[in-house]
C-alpha cells in the first residue's frame, strides 16, 4: 500500500511537484456543522485505501464560517461567488489536480467510507461512476416523501429515455470522473441541473459509465435542502436537450391522430357501440392536427439548429431530411396541400350556387378543407424559415 500524500495549503499556490491520484471535491454552502466531520471521514477513507489524495472544498458564499473550518481541517479551499450547486462543482473541479475526481456533498448525507467504490472503477477503465441511492439504501428521514416517491422517480423515468446507459438515480450527489473524460464534456449548468447535465454530456461523449450503490443518510445540519424547483429544473433540462422527445414524437402522434379522426368522419357519422361520433369531433381532429404539426415544425427547427451549429451528433433521419430537403420542394408540398383544400372549398361554393345560394350543410368537407389549407400554408412559410435557419450550413451534412 502506497503512502498517502495530503495537500493542505489553503491557497491556490500549491506545490506543482505534488502528485495527486484522487481529488475529492466538496461543494459547500453553510455546512459548518458537518464540513469538518466530512473532511475527517474522507481523509480516513482515502488514507486507508492508500490513495495519493487531496480534498478540495468549494465555498459557495457561506456565512457561517464553513470555509474557515474546512481550511483549519486541512482541506484546500476555493471560493465561487456565483451561487448554485453546479457553479460550486465546476469551480471545485477546476481547482482539483487529481487524475480521478470524486464529487460528494458536504452535508453528511453520504458515507465517505465508500470512496474506494468511486475510484477503483475509474482505475479499471471506466470514465464516469454514478452513485445510486435507489439501488443502495435510503435511511429514514433522509429524503422527503414527495421527492422519494414522486419527484425523483419521475426524473429517473425521464432520464432512462434519454441516456444510452442505465441510470437509476439521476440526482445522486456522489459520483466520480476521470480528468480525461471531464475534458470531453461541455458543462455549464450552475444549479442542481448540473447533475443531469453531466449525464447528458457523458452520453454525447460516449463515455463508459458505471453505477454503484450508496447509503443516503439524513442531513446532519437539519432538513433536506431539496426543493420542488430543483426537480423542475432537472426535468426542464432533460426536455430541452432532446427535441425529439419534447416536440417531434408528440407532434407526430397528434398530427396523425387528428388527420385520422377527420378522415374517418368525412363520409359521415360513425357509431361504436352506444357511442355516436359526428362532425363535432372533426373540430377536435383539426385542432389536434394543426397543434401537432406546430410541434413537429418546432422539433425540426431545433434539430436543424443543432445540426448547423454542431451542438451534438446528428441523427440519421435528420441528415437524410436535409440531404433531400430544398426550399422549392417544401413550397411545392405546402402548395399542393393548400391547393387541395382550396379545391374542396371551390366545390362547396359551386354546390351552394347550384342550390340557389340557399341553405347548405357542408361542415364536413369545409373542416377538411380548412385543415389542408392551414397545414399547406404552414409548410410553405416553414420552408422559408427552415432555409433561413440553416443558411449555408446545410452543406456539411
Region 10-34 average pLDDT: 74
Cell of 238: 432533460
The pLDDT of residue 230 is 55
Region 86-110 average pLDDT: 94
**Distance between CA 210 and CA 165 in Å, rounded?**
9
pLDDT band at 165 (very low <50, low <70, confident <90, very high): low
- Beta-strand runs (E) in the chain: 22-28, 53-59, 76-79, 100-103, 128-138, 175-178, 209-216, 270-272, 275-277
pLDDT band at 12 (very low <50, low <70, confident <90, very high): very low
Query: Which pairing describes strands 53-59 and 76-79: parallel, antiparallel, or unpaired?
Result: parallel
Region 238-266 average pLDDT: 84
Which residue do the cell numbers 387528428 mark?
258
The pLDDT of residue 397 is 44
pLDDT at residue 277 above 80? yes
Q: 63: helix, coil or strand?
A: coil
pLDDT at residue 284 above 50? yes
The pLDDT of residue 148 is 64
CA 143 to chain centre: 22
Does the pTM exceed 0.75? Answer: no
**Distance between CA 247 and CA 298 in Å, rounded?**
6
pLDDT at residue 146 above 80? no
**Distance between CA 185 and CA 181 in Å, rounded?**
7
The pLDDT of residue 321 is 86
pLDDT at residue 20 above 50? yes
CATH numbers and ranges of domains, the chain:
22-240 (3.90.550.10), 243-396 (no CATH)
Region 147-164 average pLDDT: 65
Q: What is the largest CA-CA distance in the chain?
A: 102
pLDDT band at 318 (very low <50, low <70, confident <90, very high): confident
Query: Which pairing describes strands 22-28 and 53-59: parallel, antiparallel, or unpaired?
Result: parallel
Cell of 362: 357542408
Tens of pLDDT, residues 361-377: 889 999 999 999 999 99
* Phi (first) and psi of residue 360, to 5 degrees: -150, 125
Tens of pLDDT, residues 171-220: 788 999 999 999 999 888 888 888 888 888 888 888 999 999 999 888 76
Identify which has the larger pLDDT, 219 or 90.
90
**β-bridge mates for residue 128, sequence order:** 177, 209
pLDDT at residue 159 above 70? no
CA 14 to chain centre: 36
Cell of 70: 474546512
| Among the listed residues 40, 32, 41, 76, the one whose alpha carbon sits nearest the alpha carbon of residue 57 | 76
* CA gyration radius, the chain: 29
Tens of pLDDT, residues 223-249: 455 554 555 666 666 666 666 677 888
Tens of pLDDT, residues 335-365: 999 999 999 999 999 988 988 887 888 899 9
Tens of pLDDT, residues 99-139: 999 999 999 999 999 899 999 999 999 999 999 988 888 88
**b (16+ CB within 10 A) / e for 240-279:** ebbbbebbbebbbebbeebbebbeebeeeeeeeeeeeeeb
Cell of 17: 511537484
The pLDDT of residue 123 is 95
Amino acid at each position: 500500500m502506497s503512502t498517502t500524500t495530503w495537500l493542505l495549503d489553503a491557497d491556490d499556490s500549491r506545490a506543482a511537484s505534488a502528485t495527486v491520484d484522487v481529488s475529492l471535491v466538496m461543494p459547500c454552502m453553510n455546512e459548518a456543522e458537518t464540513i469538518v466531520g466530512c473532511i475527517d471521514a474522507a481523509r480516513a477513507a482515502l488514507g486507508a485505501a492508500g490513495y495519493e489524495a487531496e480534498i478540495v472544498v468549494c465555498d459557495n458564499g457561506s456565512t457561517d464560517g464553513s470555509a474557515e473550518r474546512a481550511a483549519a481541517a486541512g482541506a484546500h479551499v476555493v471560493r465561487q461567488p456565483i451561487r448554485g450547486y453546479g457553479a460550486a462543482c465546476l469551480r471545485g473541479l477546476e481547482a482539483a489536480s487529481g487524475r480521478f475526481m470524486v464529487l460528494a456533498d458536504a452535508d453528511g448525507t453520504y458515507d465517505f467510507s465508500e470512496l474506494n467504490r468511486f475510484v477503483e472503477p475509474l482505475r479499471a477503465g471506466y470514465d464516469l461512476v454514478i452513485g445510486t441511492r435507489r439501488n443502495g439504501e435510503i435511511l429514514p428521514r433522509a429524503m422527503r416523501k414527495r421527492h422519494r416517491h414522486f419527484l425523483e422517480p419521475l426524473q429517473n423515468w425521464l432520464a432512462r429515455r434519454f441516456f444510452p446507459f442505465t441510470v437509476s438515480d439521476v440526482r445522486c450527489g456522489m459520483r466520480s470522473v476521470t480528468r480525461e473524460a471531464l475534458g470531453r464534456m461541455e458543462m455549464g449548468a450552475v444549479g442542481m441541473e448540473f447533475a443531469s447535465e453531466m449525464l447528458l454530456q457523458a452520453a454525447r461523449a460516449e463515455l463508459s459509465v458505471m453505477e454503484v450503490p450508496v447509503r443516503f443518510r439524513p442531513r446532519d445540519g437539519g432538513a433536506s435542502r431539496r426543493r420542488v424547483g430543483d426537480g423542475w429544473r432537472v426535468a426542464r433540462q432533460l426536455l430541452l436537450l432532446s427535441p425529439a422527445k419534447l416536440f417531434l414524437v408528440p407532434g407526430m402522434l397528434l398530427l396523425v391522430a387528428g388527420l385520422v379522426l377527420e378522415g374517418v368522419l368525412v363520409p359521415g357519422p360513425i357509431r361504436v357501440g352506444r357511442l355516436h361520433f359526428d362532425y363535432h369531433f372533426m373540430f377536435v381532429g383539426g385542432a389536434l392536427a394543426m397543434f401537432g404539426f406546430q410541434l413537429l415544425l418546432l422539433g425540426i427547427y431545433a434539430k436543424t439548429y443543432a445540426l448547423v451549429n454542431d451542438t451534438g451528433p446528428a441523427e440519421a433521419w435528420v441528415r437524410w431530411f436535409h440531404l433531400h430537403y430544398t426550399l422549392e420542394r417544401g413550397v411545392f408540398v405546402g402548395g399542393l396541400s393548400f391547393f387541395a383544400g382550396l379545391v374542396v372549398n371551390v366545390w362547396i361554393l359551386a354546390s351552394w350556387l347550384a342550390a340557389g345560394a340557399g341553405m347548405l350543410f357542408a361542415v364536413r368537407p369545409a373542416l377538411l378543407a380548412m385543415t389542408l389549407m392551414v397545414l399547406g400554408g404552414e409548410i410553405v412559410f416553414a420552408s422559408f424559415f427552415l432555409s433561413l435557419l440553416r443558411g449555408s450550413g446545410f452543406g456539411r451534412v
